[in-house]
């Protein structure tokens, strides 16, 4: 199975490799434009970024599937505050499937800065006293004390968006 991931971020590539390891994939990282803001600020923008990454990664390669992953922040009507969200998209060129990863409420002091226009990664680096947290444990790891991390969280988005391609439950003929 040949997979093209629409990112060169090692955490995103690792999330795809680990999640789909039983299929023994060959994974190629492809530097593509997400077509959305560097910091997506809505569910719609985050999902659109994942879709664009999946389509563009597939178009740039001869892979069987294109995979796109996007993290963003959004206000979700049923929950208070600003949340970190993670979405994945997978395409084989005909179908496009989407799936979400975990959603985490951001601490108020982080949410305020992000709401004022800052990007989450640099804000988290400032709060944590780190550099490049987005390529390590991510905000998900820091905000859960390691109960999850960015690789696992993105992996859930991979699993949720890839599932329809590997099960018969989504077949329209079944």
Residue 40 is labelled as binding a ligand: no
Distance between CA atoms of residues 92 and 140, nearest Å: 29
Return the structure tokens found at 142. 């820091």
Residue 63 is labelled as binding a ligand: yes
Q: Which residues have CB under 8 Å from 168's CB, separation 6+?
A: 174
Residue 115 is labelled as binding a ligand: no
The vertex-158 CA angle with 157 and 159, nearest 5°, equals 90
Residue 8 is labelled as binding a ligand: yes
Residue 9 is labelled as binding a ligand: yes
CA-based torsion, 122, 126, 132, 135: positive or negative: negative
Q: Which residues have CB under 8 Å from 42's CB, separation 6+?
A: 72, 74
Pairing of strands 65-74, 96-105: unpaired
Residue 10 is labelled as binding a ligand: yes
Residue 12 is labelled as binding a ligand: yes
Distance between CA atoms of residues 90 and 163, nearest Å: 9
Question: Smallest Cα–Cα separation from 67: which of 21, 29, 101?
Answer: 29
Return the structure tokens found at 82. 């600003």
Annotated binding site: 7-12, 33, 62-63
Q: Specify binding-site residues for substrate.
A: 7-12, 62-63
Residues comprising the binding site for Mg(2+)? 33, 62
């Amino acid at each position: 199975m040949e997979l093209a991931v629409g990112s060169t971020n090692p955490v995103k590539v690792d999330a795809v490799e680990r999640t789909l390891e039983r299929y023994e994939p060959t994974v190629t990282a492809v530097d593509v434009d997400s077509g959305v803001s560097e910091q997506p600020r809505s569910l719609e923008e985050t999902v659109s970024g994942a879709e664009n990454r999946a389509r563009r990664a597939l178009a740039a390669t001869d892979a069987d599937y294109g995979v796109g992953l996007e993290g963003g922040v959004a206000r979700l009507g049923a929950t208070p505050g600003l949340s970190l969200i993670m979405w994945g998209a997978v395409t084989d060129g005909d179908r496009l499937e989407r799936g979400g990863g975990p959603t985490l409420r951001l601490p108020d002091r982080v949410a305020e800065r992000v709401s004022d226009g800052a990007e989450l990664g640099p804000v988290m680096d400032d709060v944590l006293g780190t550099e490049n947290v987005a390529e390590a444990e991510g905000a998900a790891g820091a905000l859960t004390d390691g109960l999850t991390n960015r690789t696992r969280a993105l992996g859930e988005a991979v699993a949720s968006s890839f599932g329809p391609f590997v099960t018969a439950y989504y077949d329209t003929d079944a």
